[in-house]
Amino acid sequence: MSHRGKILLFAGALVGLVASASYAFANEFIVQEEKDPNLWPVTGQNYALQRHSALSDINKENVDRLQMVWSQSSGALRGHEGQPLVVMVDGTPMMFLVSAWPNIVQALDLSDPDNPKEVWNYLKKTDRDESAVPRACCDTVNRGLSYASGKVVFGTLDGFVIALDAKTGKEIWVVKHSYPEHGETQTNAPMIAGNLVIAGFGGDEFAARGRLDAYDLDTGKLVWSKESNGTDEEIGITADTNKFNSRHDQTQNQGFTYPGDEWKRGGGSPWAWYSYDPELKLIYESNGNPGNWSPTTRCGANPPTQESCNSGKWDNKWSMTIMARHLEDGTVAWNYQWTPFDQWDYDGVNENILVDMPDVDGKPCKCLVHFDRNGFAYVLNRETGELLRAHKFVTVNWAERVDLKTGRPVKVYEHSPLKIGVTTQACPSAMGGKDQQPCAVDPKDPTKFYCPTNNWCMTDEPQERTSFQQGTVYVFANVYMYEEKPGVAGRFKKFDVLTGKEDWDIPDPYPDWGGALVTDGGLVFYGSLNGDFRAVDRDTGKVLWQRKLASGIIGNPIAYKIDGKEYISIWTGIGGWIGLPVTAGLDMNDKFGAIGATAMAKATNLPLIPQGGTLFTFRVY
């Protein structure tokens, strides 16, 4: 065992004594809070990331009377993904929100919900690392924060995880979690599960080696740390990993399926969303691409042909993989790789949504649903990892299908980039059939999902590798993205994950890069990158209400209720990968800029969308 591993085991043993005492409290607090539809206590409303509200005061009959009641500036300009939280702190309804870089946290007292009062704000002012900004591959976004045990916990782009006193905003603890000089930047919302703070980072395009860490909520001390590639011990794979499914043999140092020492820069960063099943005590973490986009440099076959590179030997495990990890020690109960030997940058980080389906192939299922960048919507048994369904939810030509017996995609080599200097066309684009923008589902109707999707294709020309250094650009590909159908950049759709059929979809000339909210009022809310915020009849797909907001929307709507009044809040602020050419001031005539984003930004007129981070809140009058 390495010296670092011994230290982690020792630290874990010590912290475990403290964690076990308060584990039940922190865990039970969140479980109880998420059952209250008046609150929005975690990123997806609940640990399952369903983004469903049981509130029905705002409904199909009165949504036309929905009006803005207040707004709040974030204090930052660009890249507002994520959502605020609404929780009770010692009997006081509070909203907590965090901005994009430089990551300003605000606390609003909602006792008078039409006129919130800011009671504190926080900005870390020491030891900041400005080099994180140009190393944030896909903009300086932040996807939110967490709350439990009187603490507000969030991450900063430059790699700090910070716990603040929810009443005062004072620092309780600060840890250095990720390091920009290693290519690591933090944009995700840390998740509190049990008495642990779970945090990852991004950086695959800067040669990071992916990792997921768990910190003690009370002290900030490191409890466990697991890599995405390397030895079984480093990853957390044990003899019991996958023992309940046919992939049980995939547990033998497969984190080394890269040529040479490429695994040290192997990517696989878990940079987006995490879900958690408190009964199974399993964390569901998905991770990103295997670093370098030039496929032959990740294939040790000689010569590197489609057949030899896709033989299974060079799968680049465990990038683009879902890990179901045991909360207490991070070991892997089961895992599944979405796109073995990736050739397109189909990051596997999209959210894993937990639902209980009454009938899947004749029996009930504790299921996990994942809409992947690669264009397939997957259904797995979240207890065992068994693959149950994989349906295309957008146009896909890189693969014919996913073989449910082997779990592997059946690739179409004509649309699979490989050779250096050879341009290949593929659908969907590297931004995926869906990127980080989360779907929503009503658990009472667990097969129907409401999803914002991308409808783009691309050409990809792999390039020679010119660097091996972490913290420097590590892409080596010329990517050009374009609309599959001119004039339609986004589609918001209702999709059945068991049948693979869509009930309806709404085409949009602008990208739909923000998340969804489904409510018991018969509505679905979502936003577009031109700033249109919409309420849709969830049965028919008819747009019932729409308002133009101050900037493009890449955030996720939430619902909450105070003093008998239901409210809807949404972040605005253009950004993310699709908005990066605007926020970073890139040359719109460079069609390969921002790894293909400039072409899409130019085609959809995003340079005409003003910047600025603002939270807008609505209710019915």
Where exactly are the structural domains of the chain?
A: 3-620
556 is catalytic: no
Q: Which residues contact 32 (CB under 8 A, 6 or more apart)?
A: none
Longest CA–CA separation in the chain, Å: 69
- Residue in the structure block whose two tokens are 């602020």: 573
Q: Is the domain defined by 3-620 classed in CATH 2.140.10.10?
A: yes
Dihedral, CA atoms, 410, 412, 413, 416, nearest 10 degrees? -100
- Mean pLDDT across the stretch 290-312? 95
Given a cut of 90, whether residue 436 has pLDDT beyond it is yes
- Mean pLDDT across the stretch 337-351? 97
Q: Percent of the chain having pLDDT more than 70?
A: 95
Query: Which among 103, 245, 289, 316 is annotated as catalytic?
Result: 289
Rg of the chain over Cα atoms, rounded to whole angstroms, equals: 22
Q: Are 421 and 412 within 8 A, CB to CB?
A: no
> Band of the pLDDT at 467, cuts 50, 70, 90?
confident
- 119: tokens are 């009671």
The Cα–Cα gap between 254 and 231 comes to: 8
Query: Which among 158, 345, 460, 505 is annotated as catalytic?
Result: 345
Given a cut of 80, whether residue 340 has pLDDT beyond it is yes
Query: Which among 33, 34, 158, 205 is annotated as catalytic?
Result: 205
Q: Are 287 and 352 within 8 A, CB to CB?
A: no
Mean pLDDT score of the chain: 94
The Cα–Cα gap between 104 and 502 comes to: 40
Given a cut of 90, whether residue 23 has pLDDT beyond it is no
Given a cut of 90, whether residue 541 has pLDDT beyond it is yes
Task: Look at residues 531, 480, 542, 536 and name the one whose alpha carbon lies nearest to residue 509.
Answer: 531
> Band of the pLDDT at 31, cuts 50, 70, 90?
confident
Question: What burial letters (b/e) apply to 585-609, b meaning 16+ CB within 10 Å?
Answer: ebebeebbbbbbbbbbbbbbebeeb
User: SS in 3 state form for 77-123?
Assistant: CCCCCCCCEEEEECCEEEEEEECCCCCCEEEEECCCCCCCEEEEEEC
Instruction: List pLDDT tens digits, range 210-264.
Output: 999 999 999 999 999 999 999 999 999 999 999 999 887 777 789 999 999 999 9
Given a cut of 90, whether residue 164 has pLDDT beyond it is yes
205 is catalytic: yes
How many helices and strands, by DSSP H and E, does the chain display?
6, 38
> Band of the pLDDT at 27, cuts 50, 70, 90?
low
Given a cut of 50, whether residue 16 has pLDDT beyond it is no
> Band of the pLDDT at 344, cuts 50, 70, 90?
very high
- 273: tokens are 């969303």
Q: In 3-state terms, what secondary structure has residue 129?
A: coil
| The pLDDT value given to residue 30 | 85
The Cα–Cα gap between 337 and 321 comes to: 4
Given a cut of 60, whether residue 18 has pLDDT beyond it is no
Q: Which residues contact 461 (CB under 8 A, 6 or more apart)?
A: 417, 421, 422, 423, 424, 477, 478, 479
| The pLDDT value given to residue 24 | 52
β 151-155/196-199 pair status:
unpaired
345 is catalytic: yes
Given a cut of 70, whether residue 25 has pLDDT beyond it is no
- Mean pLDDT across the stretch 508-518? 97
Given a cut of 80, whether residue 393 has pLDDT beyond it is yes
Task: Look at residues 394, 392, 366, 397 and name the one whose alpha carbon lies nearest to residue 381.
Answer: 366
4 class by beta-carbon count within 10 Å (0-12 exposed, 13-18 middle, 19+ buried):
exposed
